[in-house]
């Protein structure tokens, strides 16, 4: 009888292999790459593991091309994929499932600080991307925190973005303005890569 030894860590190089294997849709690749960049900056802000936080951001929507518009398995399917690939990383798995709170067909709930931060980080990419799309130069350079705050208040703007998940960041020891500034800085650093 053979036992598969499950890996309890994943580095960025291995995560990129999985990211390329399972995600084919360009906007999903951009979204997850943006989530990774923001999570890395947030890890530095909170004094946490930058690699782990970043990889979690990169892989959080790994199942999206598989599930299509059927969100009942969202998050759970990503965990299934990662387990099939030989990983057992409970903290990552819990955050990936928790970010689907209110969307998946299961009773996913954000519980830990990490869960709340991942959900906020991946949602703010939608506000920023939509805002950049309406700027005349389509560039993140020069984006102001105050401009993003105004767009957040307008429920009609990027209406599908889960604003409560973004606002919940303030319960995790960081002010909204600081969070938005970190997100802008993170995406500015990878602007050429993500077309911003």
Q: How far apart are CA 39 and CA 23, in angstroms?
A: 19
Q: What is the pLDDT of residues 135-177, one digit of tens each?
A: 999 999 999 999 999 999 999 999 999 999 999 999 999 999 9
Q: Which numeric CATH code is attached to 12-194?
A: 1.10.3210
Task: Please report, rounded to a whole number, the percentage of residues in the chain having pLDDT higher than 70.
Answer: 97
Residue 2 has pLDDT above 60, yes or no: no
Q: What is the pLDDT of residues 110-126, one digit of tens each?
A: 999 999 999 999 999 99
Q: What is the pLDDT of residues 38-94, one digit of tens each?
A: 999 999 999 999 999 999 999 999 999 999 888 889 999 999 999 999 999 999 999
Residue 104 has pLDDT above 80, yes or no: no
62 and 78 Cβ atoms separated by less than 8 Å: yes
Please give the structure tokens belonging to residue 176.
């909204």
pLDDT band at 108 (very low <50, low <70, confident <90, very high): confident
Q: Which helix (H) or strand (E) holds 67?
A: helix 64-67
Q: How far apart are CA 77 and CA 96, in angstroms?
A: 10
pLDDT attached to residue 70: 86
Mean pLDDT, residues 99-112 taken together: 87
Which sequence spans correspond to the domains of the chain?
12-194
Q: How far apart are CA 132 and CA 150, in angstroms?
A: 14
């Amino acid at each position: 009888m053979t036992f598969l030894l499950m890996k309890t860590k994943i580095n960025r190089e291995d995560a990129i292999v999985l990211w390329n294997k399972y995600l084919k849709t360009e906007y999903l690749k951009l979204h997850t790459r943006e989530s990774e960049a923001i999570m890395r900056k947030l890890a530095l802000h909170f004094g946490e593991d930058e690699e782990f936080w970043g990889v979690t951001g990169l892989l959080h929507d790994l199942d999206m091309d598989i599930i299509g518009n059927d969100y009942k398995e969202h998050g759970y399917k990503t965990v299934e994929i990662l387990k099939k690939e030989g990983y057992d990383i409970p903290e990552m798995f819990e955050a990936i499932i928790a970010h689907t709170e209110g969307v998946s067909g299961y009773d996913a709930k954000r519980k830990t600080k990490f869960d709340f931060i991942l959900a906020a980080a991946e949602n703010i990419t939608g506000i920023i991307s939509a805002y950049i799309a309406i700027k005349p130069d389509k560039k993140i350079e020069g984006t102001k925190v105050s401009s993003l705050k105004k767009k957040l208040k307008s429920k009609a703007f990027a209406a599908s973005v889960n604003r409560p998940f973004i606002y919940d960041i303030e319960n995790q020891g960081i002010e909204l303005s600081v969070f938005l500034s970190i997100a802008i800085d993170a995406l500015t650093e990878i602007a050429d890569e993500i077309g911003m």
